[in-house]
């Protein structure tokens, strides 16, 4: 269990969130969300723009109803007899098959009978003769039948028209290998057909309908569709069936949908919806021959011999202009021509059904690698690996496109990896911000704002569980607090207000000098320096804070005295004793699993507490240990006061007091006091009581200016006690404190 907990802590919240995100991104790719699909398509557009298909030969020719043809022959629609002549000439010049990118759904209004009915002033005999002539549609149908290998175009329609038995019989045969493809195919409710005689005369019938993408760009063209409840081929697929003399078109499917569509000797790969990815090259005028030139015999038969021919239009007015990835205005008939070129030269693009699986794998593997490695690697390495990932995915996708005509999208794996890294970064960022806020909350009441910000910016400096440091510890306590409390026994709220008013400036004095408040113990304060952030000058900072605490206490006492005099109350001064000691400590989160505090432990702490208690005996405001004095004497005027062995300790400690800032040491009276005090201590430790008393009296006269005169009263009392009960000849000058 502990191993699982340890692993879970290492794995972390950020990694867990990113794993869930990765698991979410996989079904999103399968669902084909529009933004992903758009990125997918734009990537393939870019590939085609950078490397369009190269077409050196033209197995397909377009008989173009262009602007010049309309000008020479007349406006469209032309009489069907003209189209019949065009079909006949093309086959006569050796065209293998002819496909019409046009639908002839209505009778030709230029047929003799229909034309005669529209003319006025024609005599009955002439009208009767015209009515006896065959219609243009019949002539056109006969031309189609005689020419053979003619495929007429049909169009998908939103209108469902009833089918006659004769029309129902005109269906291309299909064979299906695999599951039913119908749920995946592009579907049209209705079907716009040619006139029945034309359909019956043709060798094949196919849809020329092109279904652009949502942005209006033609990228995929369905080669097999469903219209009016039946399977129908595209115009190009039907032409290939006719040329290959196949009796049916084979549809290969798998569980993902359509995989390919085939005729004898040719297999056309498709997407799952039976659509063919067209590998475009730019608009090429070499594909086009003007219909007028063909009809006028101005073109050599070699231009058409052995080729497939599409009859269509490039005239802008006939509104058959499409947008492709490589050309914003390509005639629709050229799109069909390029499809045939793709198939005949085997230069088609393939986006196989397994491509989605490959893209998911390319997303999952780098995604997991990022989740595991990114938080533990340096930022520079992560950025380098990210750049390598981008180059690798883009390069692999480009390689498959160039070398194998495969469409494998790199944008989804790249976007997935980028999103995972972004989320990982932001979750860690928010966790870091939360950690900083926790640090600010935890230490905001105990540290200066500057120190709190240092910890917030570098939380690693806060070692949880405890670390050993050399620190300075401060204890302060109010003298006579029991008497003060008794005075407020009927006004506990008044006592609370007084103590808050008193402890606030003292606390500020500590925090302003880089100290940390450990705890308040009633009227007492415990603080320390050099944790949780480093403080190389912690001894001096602690001494300076102690002096400031004494100064602020005196300021507050002045305010209390004035308030008592003005209100007729009792003035009770607040006097404090401060103990300071420096040395090794253990600092960190101390407590239990349910509650802990950032605190400090060690012998140094205990001694600091004992020194604070001894201030009452020495009648001083501050007592500091030898290690504190050793570091602080460079910045403060200090003075040794005793060699003491506190209760519970075996080793004696040389203790000092702080007289004031370093500038005070230049005062002749201060230097004289320090010298006389040293002489007094030497005489005292040699049990030269008279000399010690004489020197003590001289010290007392100077000590009053520095607030330490009570020390010499204490020595006078102690010497009197030693005279009555001598310590013995082997006494080493150590005073053994009997109480804590």
- HEC string for 24-55: HHHHHHHHCCHHHHHHHHHHHHHHHHHCCCCC
Cα distance between residue 156 and residue 149, in whole Å = 23
Banded model confidence at residue 443, pLDDT cuts 50, 70, 90: low
Mean pLDDT of 35-43: 77
pLDDT score for 109: 87
pLDDT score for 662: 86
Mean pLDDT of 452-478: 75
Mean pLDDT of 282-287: 90
Contact 152, 238 (CB under 8 A): no
pLDDT score for 607: 94
pLDDT score for 736: 86
pTM recorded for the entire structure: 0.60
pLDDT score for 227: 92
Banded model confidence at residue 432, pLDDT cuts 50, 70, 90: low
Better pLDDT: 218 or 372: 218
pLDDT score for 436: 66
Q: Are strands 97-100 and 308-312 parallel, antiparallel or unpaired?
A: parallel
Q: What is the dihedral of CA 485, 487, 491, 492, to 10 degrees?
A: 0
Mean pLDDT of 611-632: 94
Banded model confidence at residue 459, pLDDT cuts 50, 70, 90: low
Q: What DSSP designation does 327 have?
A: -
Cα distance between residue 236 and residue 338, in whole Å = 10
pLDDT score for 28: 66
Contact 228, 188 (CB under 8 A): yes
128-142, 378-392, 452-466, 654-668: least confident range = 452-466
Strand partners, 521: 524
CATH class of 463-736: alpha beta
pLDDT score for 3: 64
pLDDT score for 192: 92
Mean pLDDT of 220-244: 94
Residue 147 has pLDDT above 80, yes or no: yes
Measured in degrees and rounded to the nearest 5, phi and psi for residue 80 equal -65, -20
58-72, 437-451, 526-540: least confident range = 437-451
pLDDT score for 139: 93
Instruction: Considering only the C-alpha atoms of the chain, give the largest distance between any 2 of them, rounded to a whole number of Å.
Output: 168
- For the ranges 107-121, 348-362, 541-555, the one whose mean pLDDT is highest: 541-555
Banded model confidence at residue 304, pLDDT cuts 50, 70, 90: very high
* Location of structure tokens 């009581």: 689
Banded model confidence at residue 10, pLDDT cuts 50, 70, 90: low
Mean pLDDT of 186-214: 92
Domain boundaries, the chain: 2-49+352-428, 58-156+189-244+275-344, 463-736
Cα distance between residue 243 and residue 382, in whole Å = 57
Neighbours of 583 (CB within 10 A): 18
Tell me what percent of the residues of the chain surpass a pLDDT of 90: 54
pLDDT averaged over every residue in the chain: 86
pLDDT score for 461: 52
Banded model confidence at residue 455, pLDDT cuts 50, 70, 90: low
The CA–CA distances, whole Å, from 174 to 181, 211, 270 equal 11, 22, 16
């Amino acid at each position: 269990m502990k191993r699982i907990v340890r692993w879970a802590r290492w794995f972390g919240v950020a990694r867990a969130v990113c794993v869930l995100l990765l698991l979410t991104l996989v079904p999103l790719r399968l669902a084909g969300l529009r933004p992903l699909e758009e990125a997918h398509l734009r990537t393939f557009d870019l590939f085609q723009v950078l490397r369009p298909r190269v077409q050196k030969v033209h197995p397909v020719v377009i008989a173009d109803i262009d602007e010049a043809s309309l000008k020479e022959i007349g406006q469209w629609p032309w009489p069907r007899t003209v189209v019949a002549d065009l079909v006949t000439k093309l086959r006569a010049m050796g065209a293998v098959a002819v496909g019409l990118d046009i639908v002839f759904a209505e009778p030709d209004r230029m047929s003799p009978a229909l034309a005669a009915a529209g003319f006025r002033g024609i005599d009955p005999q002439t009208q009767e003769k015209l009515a006896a002539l065959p219609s243009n549609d019949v002539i056109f149908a006969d031309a189609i039948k005689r020419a053979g290998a003619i495929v007429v175009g049909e169009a998908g329609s939103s209108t469902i028209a009833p089918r006659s038995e004769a029309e129902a019989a005109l269906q291309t045969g299909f064979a299906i290998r695999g599951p039913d493809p119908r749920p995946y195919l592009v579907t049209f409710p209705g079907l716009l057909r040619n006139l029945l005689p034309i359909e019956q005369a043709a060798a094949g019938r196919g849809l020329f309908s092109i279904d652009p993408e949502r942005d209006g760009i033609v990228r995929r063209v369905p080669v097999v569709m469903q219209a009016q409840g039946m399977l129908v081929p595209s115009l190009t697929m039907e032409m290939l069936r006719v040329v290959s003399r196949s009796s049916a078109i084979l549809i290969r499917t798998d569980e993902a949908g359509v995989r390919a569509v085939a005729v004898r000797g040719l297999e056309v790969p498709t997407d799952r919806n039976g659509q063919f990815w067209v590998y475009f090259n730019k608009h090429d005028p070499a594909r086009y021959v003007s219909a007028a030139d063909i009809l006028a015999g101005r073109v050599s038969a070699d231009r058409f011999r052995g080729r497939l021919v599409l009859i269509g239009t490039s005239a802008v007015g006939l509104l058959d202009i499409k947008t492709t990835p490589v050309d914003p205005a390509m005639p629709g008939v050229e799109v069909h021509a390029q499809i045939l070129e793709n198939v005949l030269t085997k230069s088609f693009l393939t986006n196989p059904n397994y491509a989605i699986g490959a893209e998911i794998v390319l997303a999952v593997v780098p995604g997991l690698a990022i989740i595991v490695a990114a938080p533990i690697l340096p930022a520079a390495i992560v950025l380098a690996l990210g750049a390598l990932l981008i180059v690798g995915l883009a390069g692999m996708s480009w390689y498959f496109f160039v070398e194998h005509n495969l469409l494998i999208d790199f944008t989804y794996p790249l976007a997935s990896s980028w999103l995972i890294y972004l989320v990982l970064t932001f979750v860690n960022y928010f966790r870091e911000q939360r950690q900083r806020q926790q640090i600010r909350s935890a230490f905001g009441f105990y540290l200066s704002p500057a120190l709190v910000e240092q910890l917030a910016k570098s939380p690693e400096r806060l070692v949880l569980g405890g670390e050993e440091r050399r620190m300075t510890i401060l204890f302060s306590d109010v003298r006579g607090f029991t008497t003060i409390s008794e005075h407020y026994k009927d006004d506990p709220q008044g006592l609370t207000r007084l103590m808050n008013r008193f402890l606030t400036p003292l606390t500020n004095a500590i925090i302003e000098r880089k100290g940390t408040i450990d705890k308040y113990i009633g009227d007492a304060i415990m603080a320390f320096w050099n944790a949780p952030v480093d403080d190389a000058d912690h001894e001096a900072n602690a001494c300076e804070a102690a002096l400031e605490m004494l100064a602020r206490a005196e300021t507050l006492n002045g305010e209390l005295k004035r308030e008592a005099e003005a209100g007729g109350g009792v003035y009770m001064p607040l006097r404090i004793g401060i103990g300071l000691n420096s040395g090794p400590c253990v600092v960190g989160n101390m407590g239990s699993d349910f509650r802990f505090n950032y605190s400090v432990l060690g012998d140094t702490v205990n001694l600091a507490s004992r020194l604070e208690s001894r201030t009452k005996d020495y009648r001083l405001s501050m007592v500091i240990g030898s290690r504190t004095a050793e570091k602080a004497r460079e910045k403060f005027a200090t003075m040794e006061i005793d060699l003491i062995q506190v209760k519970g300790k075996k080793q004696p400690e040389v203790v000092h007091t702080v007289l004031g800032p370093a500038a005070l040491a230049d005062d002749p009276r201060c230097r004289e006091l320090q010298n006389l005090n040293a002489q007094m201590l030497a005489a005292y430790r040699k049990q030269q009581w008279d000399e010690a008393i004489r020197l003590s009296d001289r010290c007392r006269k100077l000590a009053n200016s520095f607030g330490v005169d009570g020390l010499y009263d204490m020595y006078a009392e102690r010497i009197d006690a030693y005279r009555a009960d001598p310590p013995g000849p082997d006494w080493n000058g150590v005073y053994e404190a009997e109480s804590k």
